[in-house]
Structure 1
């Protein structure tokens, strides 16, 4: 069965080999398990060490962005030609984002079934970007994605709130892309760490650093209201010069450390075990894998109400987006109370079990098997 997988997410090429990004680990695992013949069509991005090799048995087409730069028209024509050829000769098309919307239109033209993937609200994402053009385009792009999702044969949502925002007439699955293997020693280790906590309080955050979506600037501003013993460590790719400038302006630069990309889940989990409090002050989210991973390591967590965060984090430890004063207050509450911190640690750990690989894999595999069986 031939699947065409079309996404805005960046793939890359190095030494004549193709790679998919860390954000696509679960997508790749799912589609390669259920489809034998796959063509990947994705945005062309620079290679990063944390990327994963795509098997040479699959075809890959990398396309430069059709929304940025002076070559927009040429890039669009190239994408259109590739979609016309691949979709026409496919059995089913999987659609992500704006590129996915164009693939959906081709699938409609050639009467091919589609799988729409909804990993977040495109309106919220675009509205919270610095680009004026992207802010203006947000309602237009949202209407396009709504059309695609409404008419898709099948839809994979990462959280129920996205089903409510982007309804469908097709069959659907609600299942996050998180992949958590529960470590039964994590909770005991965390409780002991909290009990013995002295000195520096290390706050951790995972997210892209090149824009405001993950609320890293909110986290830095919160440091103004915390003492020198509070340190913020940020893991993630992207240009963070603007964040370093902000930290310097606020005189908290000595309290912020940008660690860059930590490749591999083991390195991420090892790092999570060293921090004291995890925060996710995001402006928008789907169902955040990084937060769930932190919860699986029994971290106390403070987050915003964005997206799926409102269904997994204790309401008493959620803040409004951008409220750095309240973020500081809740971090302090946790750091100053062993009992409270241990309660949140245990609660988050128990919630993370709902996202265990063996639980989600069954839901995910049953859905995609149903799709294949119906072809």
Structure 2
């Protein structure tokens, strides 16, 4: 059997007809479906591009994974300008597939759902992000909030649609409240069901060992965002907090993993605040093993994001035995205690919490141990069992229908 997976990937096709992406949606991501399905069709935006030497990309296509290219666009303006081309390119993507899975929120997946909700194949949704946080956040412009509201309504309606057989969430409770499934609103049956599991790819081999903090004088703070292209992931908040931490006599520095067009802006801010020598942008790393190595060398992980589902990077940091500070959005409060949550733009609260932690090595060592145990629940070995049960139910719907 073949499953069509409609996702938000940005894929590049080279002249020799190879498909590549910069993060997440490499070939290994789609291997998770092979326990239940023989073949995978990836439905995503594709752009012709020759890859520069030295850049870090992931190969997407491979044995039993094919690409169904969707007209490439970035942002609402380009989407509206080329909506006809997008619709035309999506037409017929479900043909010869037995099951369709939409990963939402995603403009591509939402359009695909609207076009195929009446198709005969069983259909499922994986909800990976909470758009409601964008509606209540002050950082977004009014036009952006209108777009977020429209997307929010579309995802909410899709999850509650009788035509959708199964809905899976990356959170245990939070996303379910905002995007209830048909089975939750009504009653589960053979054709309507839900599940929850993280979509993270995380191998148990990356689980670290508890860290020691007594007597520590130098502090390395870590942060990971693959695409540094907005102010929504807390870089500015961390830089401003670092200034306050150092003014209080603590020898601390930050290591930002990732790359993107906003890097010069954040470097300039660090220089303006006088902490440029203590803020390091190390760029994209070629593998999960390299990210894990950098995380293990850090002392604490900070992720003051405005928006999220259940952040992969947070789980990876916990698996590296790092105490973590983040924000009370989406599913993050499900894995972090309230005292380790601060407002997305509250650099004063972040600095205060960092100083409290630096002065409390016993607490840091306890959180290091506890976070390791939480991360163990999110390894591939455990999550794949949950995914397989959900995919098996979708597959079973083929016979029932």
Same topology, TM > 0.5: yes
Q: Residue 39 of structure 1 contacts residue 60 of structure 1 at CA under 8 Å; is this kept in 2?
A: yes
* Matched residues, number: 370
Q: Which residue of 2 aligns with 1:43?
A: 45
* 1:28 and 2:47 are equivalent in the alignment: no
Match of 2:337 among 289, 314, 326: 314
Q: Conserved in 2, the CA contact under 8 Å of 1:154 and 1:172?
A: yes
Matching residue within 209, 214, 223 for 1:205 = 223
Asked if the contact 2:270–2:279 (Cα under 8 Å) also holds between the matched residues in 1, the reply is yes
Q: Secondary structure at the match of 1:109?
A: coil
Query: 2:133, 2:330 within 8 Å by CA — same for their partners in 1?
Result: no
The superposition leaves residues 39-70 of structure 1 with CA deviations (integer Å, 9 ceiling, x where unpaired) of: 32212366551423311641331421174456
> 1:16-54, CA deviations, whole angstroms, 9 ceiling, x for partnerless residues?
201244323574122344333433221236655142331
**Structure 1 residue aligned with 2:233, among 214, 219, 236?**
214
Q: 72, 76, 100: which one pairs with 1:64? A: 72
| Counterpart in the other structure of 1:248 | 271
Return the structure number with greater helix share: 1
Aligned to 2:187: none
1:269 corresponds, among 276, 292, 296, to 292
Q: Which residue in the other structure is 2:4 paired with?
A: 4
Q: What secondary structure is seen at the aligned counterpart in 2 of 1:236?
A: strand
309-318 or 109-118, which moves further after superposition?
A: 109-118
Instruction: Report how far residue 286 of structure 1 moved.
Output: 0.7
Q: Deviations over 1:218-264 (max 9, x none)?
A: 11111121116210111123211221222223222222111111121
Aligned-partner SS, 2:194: strand
User: How far, CA to CA, are the matches of 2:21 and 2:70 in structure 1?
Assistant: 11
CA-CA distance at 1:349 after TM superposition = 1.2
Secondary structure (helix, strand or coil) at the match of 1:86 reads coil
Q: What is the CA deviation profile of residues 267-304 of structure 1, one whole-angstrom value per residue up to 9, with x for unaligned ones?
A: 11110111111111111111111111111111111111
The range that moved more, 95-104 or 58-67, is 58-67
2:178 maps to what in 1?
A: 165
Task: Give the counterpart of 2:243 among 224, 229, 233.
Answer: 224
**Unmatched 5+ stretches in structure 1:** none
Contact 1:4 1:93 in 2 (8 A): yes
The answer to whether the Cα contact below 8 Å between 1:219 and 1:324 also exists between their aligned partners in 2 is: yes
State how far apart, in whole Å, the 1-side matches of 2:379 and 2:114 are. 35
Q: 2: CA distance between counterparts of 1:27 and 1:115? A: 18
Equivalent residue for 1:153, pick from 151, 159, 165: 165
If asked which structure has higher relative contact order (CA below 8 Å, sep 6+), I would say 2
Q: 1:350 to 1:148 in 2, by over 3 A?
A: same
The answer for the alignment partner of 1:140 in structure 2 is 150
Root mean square deviation, CA, Å:
2.4
Compared CA separation, residues 90 and 77, structure 1 to 2 (3 A): farther
Moved more, 11-20 or 231-240: 11-20
CA distance in 2, matches of 1:66, 1:262: 24
Q: CA 1:2/1:358 → structure 2, altered by over 3 Å: closer, same or farther?
A: closer
More deviation in 201-210 or 55-64? 55-64
Are residues 153 and 218 of structure 1, via their aligned partners in 2, closer, same or farther at CA, if it must alter by over 3 Å? same
